[in-house]
Structure 1
């Protein structure tokens, strides 16, 4: 089957050059990707279908630049589509999941750095960080959080689109809130200045200043991102994390699991004896 696919790949490259008008440079790129894929991938028959498992290929290219990985996977998918459309071959492709990381998605903060900052923070700063990291809140949600929304170990969050979600309060966070309310005496909102709630900009300033003093450039959304990433890395179900974050669909939360998969694959490539041979 591998020899057959190799022959088809040559036809595919000619098709790209003669029919689709691809440049010579693109053809070379496709040829390299397909050759690498065929050298290590698994081919077998299952339920009358030819299965192409490119998981080993994914391991092989994991250290490549992200754009290079995307190009190589695109070449493989185009080849499979060619086989299905032009050669009427029934082919099942395994291991081609895309890993797309939005440019706007901030990197999670390591737990040790968050703990270091918490140990040096004053009461207000400590509660601010703990609410964002401990509950995965958006800064706008925290700004408008009322004392009346915190009760009996739960906090009610009014999120985007007037959607309300209930979040469980960690025991340590409950104790921290009690101490803060007793000492600061807020009347309506958890974080107040005068008779009004502290706005997002004011809370963000406190947070960024705190982390800057520790030599770190951190945004409120990074703490929300860290909340999700650390939960998933420690075995939390994606459905539960999605609900805690207030996402409309699990597809939005999926990016965190894919980032975790990349990290796991990279660690595997570093650690496994066969990967070093």
Structure 2
């Protein structure tokens, strides 16, 4: 949909995005999603009313306006999950705008998000996670690349890092300490214990790597010496997945899911796992309890004599 809304609304959107970047620490990816979601909302209102929207019109939105927008998006094929995300962005924007322009946003904030079936994370079994680490090491032609890929996968599974967090490690972070300080989403810091296996894998990579990083440079390097990209890690995982006969859900991020699920299965405290993963909300971490329960039922149904 072409975004056709007033310059005033466009300027307000820009200021809100600046606010989310500077004070909320939103990532570039998140900011792009916010921009698209709110632009789509403002563009719909422009079409809905047949005119450009000023602050006065935005301050007078009704429940009917919100229902019309949501119906429009669903008719365009937007999923319930995506619409719930867009509504969250719209509410955040309108709350911010209402506070600054002095109008009531109750009707917008009271809009209920559509219900949708939340997808459960799909972790790997413990032996499969270990097999992936071993396989990426076997399939690389260069010994230092083999050590690099094994170190990355070990950090994802052994420390629960996001791929962006692992690839952001700098020369000043190595050799890895017993506890690693990670700056994650929203520029939030957390402390992550480093297992001996992860430290050993990183040390082996550093020993073989032909590129010595300066303190401010990324530790993980590509073949030509530049920063290693997430796409190269994904390709390595794809090859390992094919060799091991694992499903398409076996991605680098699935190793982070596996870290959380296996900790929970071993009796880990949910709040502690939240801290280790860097989740802002415990509700995000609680999805792993559903994963654990679902796996328990699979085992029960496969093994119980009356199943």
Q: TM-score, normalised by structure 2?
A: 0.52
Deviation at 1:263, TM superposition (A): 3.0
Q: 1:145 aligns with which of 155, 169, 186?
A: 169
Q: Secondary structure at the match of 1:248?
A: coil
Q: 1:116 aligns with which of 113, 120, 131?
A: 131
The separation in 1 between residues aligned to 2:187 and 2:193, in whole angstroms, is 19
Question: What is the aligned partner in structure 2 of residue 206 from structure 1?
Answer: 236
1:125-164 Cα deviation digits (max 9, x unpaired):
2112101111111111122111323443122212111111
Call closer, same or farther: CA 1:101–1:219 in 2, change over 3 Å.
farther
Question: What is the aligned partner in structure 2 of residue 192 from structure 1?
Answer: 221
Call closer, same or farther: CA 1:117–1:236 in 2, change over 3 Å.
same
Matched, 1:228 2:260: yes
Call closer, same or farther: CA 1:189–1:255 in 2, change over 3 Å.
same
Deviation at 1:253, TM superposition (A): 0.4
User: Is residue 237–residue 251 contact of structure 2 (8 Å, CA) maintained in 1?
Assistant: yes
Call closer, same or farther: CA 1:178–1:101 in 2, change over 3 Å.
farther
Question: What is the aligned partner in structure 2 of residue 126 from structure 1?
Answer: 150
The separation in 2 between residues aligned to 1:166 and 1:249, in whole angstroms, is 17
Call closer, same or farther: CA 1:117–1:267 in 2, change over 3 Å.
closer
What is the RMSD of the two structures over their aligned residues, measured on CA atoms?
A: 2.4
Deviation at 1:261, TM superposition (A): 2.0
Question: What is the aligned partner in structure 2 of residue 160 from structure 1?
Answer: 185
The separation in 1 between residues aligned to 2:304 and 2:245, in whole angstroms, is 34
The separation in 2 between residues aligned to 1:235 and 1:129, in whole angstroms, is 23
Call closer, same or farther: CA 1:127–1:134 in 2, change over 3 Å.
same
The separation in 1 between residues aligned to 2:304 and 2:244, in whole angstroms, is 35
1:15-34 Cα deviation digits (max 9, x unpaired):
xxxxxxxxxxxxxxxxxxxx
Q: How does 1:90-101 map to 2 (within 5 A)?
A: none
Question: What is the aligned partner in structure 1 of residue 14 from structure 2?
Answer: none
Q: Secondary structure at the match of 2:219?
A: coil
1:39-58 Cα deviation digits (max 9, x unpaired):
xxxxxxxxxxxxxxxxxxxx
Q: How does 1:1-277 map to 2 (within 5 A)?
A: 102-103=118-119, 105-120=120-135, 121=137, 122-150=146-174, 151-184=176-209, 185-187=211-213, 188-193=217-222, 194-216=224-246, 217=248, 218-265=250-297, 267-268=299-300, 276=306
Q: Secondary structure at the match of 2:285?
A: helix
Call closer, same or farther: CA 1:165–1:232 in 2, change over 3 Å.
same
User: Is residue 139–residue 204 contact of structure 1 (8 Å, CA) maintained in 2?
Assistant: no
Deviation at 1:221, TM superposition (A): 1.3
Structure 1 spans left out of the alignment, 5+ residues: 1-99
Q: TM-score, normalised by structure 1?
A: 0.57
